[in-house]
């Protein structure tokens, strides 16, 4: 269930109305902070985080529109709902253009106020999906995700491995008009190239050996919902062309089929690679990149949203503690401090693994630093010295490995008389990888057709 531990900021210069709004929120069990004007609002916004701002339009000396513009400049994705009288509808229109989520027409019923807040505010956690957004960077991320969820735009999520791209994708689905439809995910890197097409597009009976009955693909399974194409940059080039056509035509044809099926789905794609670089290297189609990159969302690594680390760790502790029969286990203060200051190169996935390991290693009611088994973080001077010493050697090793790999591939290709089919069988790599490597060697002058 979603939790709202962050307060609501109420900005109203009329004491009676400010008190009435406060009473409504208090009765609903919602924490809030109430201030009497724009200057006071900006002051508290600089001191703490809020889930949403509810502000009057007509205030002196700073009116609600000016406050809204100030908030947009400082916290561009913080939801803002403005309250206005019927005679000020023109100001409400101006407010919407300036970035307000919505406006409440005075006088309004308490349930109307709560409905607006529930509609637009961003929860700081959702235990059903592992959403934790305490750090300002995460709150910005989920605010952007919530906004794009209201549309049907194709979303491209990028970020390092383990940052939680699928968590964000599921959040977008739940916040969208398709929330009651299916959420279907497919990892393009985990399925062999030979099976990926049939898995994505489905197949008819007899389409290939073993196809004893017709099967709907992931596209059809996601009808009226959301399809997540995870690690889409790992898709073979030939299949990328077919995917592009599906996205353009909004219809899919099963393998061995003759009748296209119309699609009504939302596409979310993810990648942990630099997609522009993949396009430049020729391993990803440029036209498909632009078709997927309608609304790009970059997910920051865990080290850049440190206020989330301990809350996420507590979430995993609760989730896995129950499975391991360790309900009620907590972190010691030193353990939480160690978690907060670790570099987390593996991001959220690494953090989850550490928590599971700690639950196994600990026996008492509290997890200590010794149970986390974290490598000590080097000091700035140690880190700099180590990096300076390691860089030339690492570079040399990388160059040697590249040389050995290139020699091995070219020698194997020569041994099979230039047959790429036989070469990939001997090398144990995909045709796509061999094609990319040969193009790279060709560009470097090592190989000619």
Q: Please indicate, yes or no, if residue 109 is contained in any of the structural domains.
A: yes
Whether the CB-CB separation of 171 and 179 falls below 8 Å is answered with no
Q: Please indicate, yes or no, if residue 410 is contained in any of the structural domains.
A: yes
From its phi and psi, is residue 14 left (phi > 0), alpha (psi between -120 and 50) or beta? beta
Distance CA 74, CA 62 (A): 16
For residue 382, the model assigns a pLDDT of 42
Q: Please indicate, yes or no, if residue 377 is contained in any of the structural domains.
A: no
Q: Please indicate, yes or no, if residue 45 is contained in any of the structural domains.
A: yes
Chunked into runs of 10 residues, the chain (449 residues) has average pLDDT values of 70 94 94 95 87 91 91 81 72 67 86 88 60 82 87 95 94 92 93 87 80 85 96 92 93 88 96 91 93 94 92 90 86 94 94 94 92 69 42 46 71 78 74 77 68
Q: Which residues contact 108 (CB under 8 A, 6 or more apart)?
A: 83
Question: Which of residues 120, 151, 185 is at a domain's end?
Answer: 120
Same domain as 401, residue 364: no
> What is the CA 205 to chain-centroid distance, rounded?
37
Report the CATH number that the domain containing residue 54 is assigned in CATH: 3.40.50.2300
Q: Please indicate, yes or no, if residue 413 is contained in any of the structural domains.
A: yes
For residue 46, the model assigns a pLDDT of 83
Question: Which of residues 69, 93, 120 is at a domain's end?
Answer: 120
Per DSSP, the chain holds a count of helices (H) and strands (E) of 19, 19
Distance CA 430, CA 335 (A): 44
Distance CA 133, CA 136 (A): 8
Distance CA 63, CA 28 (A): 28
Question: What does the DSSP assignment read for 185-225?
Answer: EEETTTS-HHHHHHHHHEE-TTSSTT--S-EE-HHHHTTTS
Same domain as 136, residue 223: yes
For residue 102, the model assigns a pLDDT of 81
Same domain as 168, residue 281: yes
Domain that includes residue 436, residue range: 387-443
Cα–Cα nearest to 101, from 78, 128, 123, 131? 78
Overall number of domains in the chain: 4
Question: Which of residues 98, 120, 142 is at a domain's end?
Answer: 120
Same domain as 186, residue 291: yes
Q: Which residues contact 431 (CB under 8 A, 6 or more apart)?
A: 193, 236, 420, 421, 424
Strands of 85-180, DSSP E: 102-105, 125-126, 131-132, 155-158
* Cis amide bond preceding 107, omega within 30: yes
For residue 384, the model assigns a pLDDT of 45
For residue 397, the model assigns a pLDDT of 41
Report the CATH number that the domain containing residue 410 is assigned in CATH: 1.10.10
Q: Is the pTM of this model over 0.85?
A: no
What is the enclosing helix (H) or strand (E) of 76? none
Report the CATH number that the domain containing residue 150 is assigned in CATH: 3.40.50.300
From its phi and psi, is residue 345 left (phi > 0), alpha (psi between -120 and 50) or beta? alpha
Whether the CB-CB separation of 200 and 243 falls below 8 Å is answered with yes
């Amino acid at each position: 269930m979603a939790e709202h531990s962050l307060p609501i900021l109420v900005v109203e210069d009329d004491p009676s109305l400010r008190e009435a709004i406060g009473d409504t929120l208090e009765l609903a069990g919602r924490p809030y902070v109430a201030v009497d004007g724009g200057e006071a609002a900006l002051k508290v916004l600089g001191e703490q985080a809020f889930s949403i701002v509810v502000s009057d339009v007509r205030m002196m000396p700073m009116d609600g529109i000016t406050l809204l513009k100030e908030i947009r400049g400082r916290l561009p994705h913080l939801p803002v709902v403005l309250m206005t009288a019927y005679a000020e509808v023109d100001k409400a229109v101006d407010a919407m253009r300036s970035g307000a989520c919505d406006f409440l027409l005075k006088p309004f019923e308490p349930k109307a106020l709560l409905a607006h807040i529930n509609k637009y505010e961003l929860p700081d956690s959702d235990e059903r999906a592992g959403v934790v957004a305490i750090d300002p960077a995460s709150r910005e991320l989920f605010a952007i995700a919530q906004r794009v969820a209201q549309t049907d735009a194709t979303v491209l999520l990028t970020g390092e491995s383990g940052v939680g791209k699928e968590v964000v994708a599921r959040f977008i689905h739940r916040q969208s008009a398709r929330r009651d439809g299916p959420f279907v995910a497919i990892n393009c890197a985990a399925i062999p190239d030979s099976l990926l097409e049939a898995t994505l597009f489905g197949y008819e009976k007899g389409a290939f050996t073993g196809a004893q009955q017709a099967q709907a693909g992931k596209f059809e399974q996601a009808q009226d919902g959301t399809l997540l194409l995870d690690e889409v940059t790992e898709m073979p080039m030939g299949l990328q062309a077919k995917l592009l056509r599906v996205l353009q035509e909004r219809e899919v044809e099963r393998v061995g089929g003759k009748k296209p099926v119309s699609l009504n789905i939302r596409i979310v794609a993810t990648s942990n690679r630099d997609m522009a670089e993949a396009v430049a290297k020729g391993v990803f189609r440029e036209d498909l990149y632009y078709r997927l990159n309608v609304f790009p969302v970059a997910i920051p690594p865990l080290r850049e949203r440190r206020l989330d680390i301990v809350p996420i760790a507590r979430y995993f502790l609760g989730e896995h503690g129950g499975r391991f029969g360790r309900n009620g286990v907590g972190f010691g203060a030193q353990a939480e401090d160690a978690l907060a200051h670790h570099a987390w190169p593996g991001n959220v996935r690494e953090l989850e693994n550490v928590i599971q390991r700690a639950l196994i290693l600990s026996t008492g009611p509290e997890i200590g630093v010794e149970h986390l088994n974290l490598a000590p973080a080097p000091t700035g001077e140690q880190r700099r010295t180590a990096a300076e010493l390691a860089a030339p050697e690492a570079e040399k090793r990388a160059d040697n490995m590249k040389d050995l790999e290139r020699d091995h591939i070219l020698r194997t290709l020569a041994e099979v008389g230039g047959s790429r089919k036989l070469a990939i069988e001997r090398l144990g790599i995909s045709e796509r990888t061999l094609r990319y490597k040969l193009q790279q060697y060709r560009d470097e002058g090592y190989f000619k057709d």
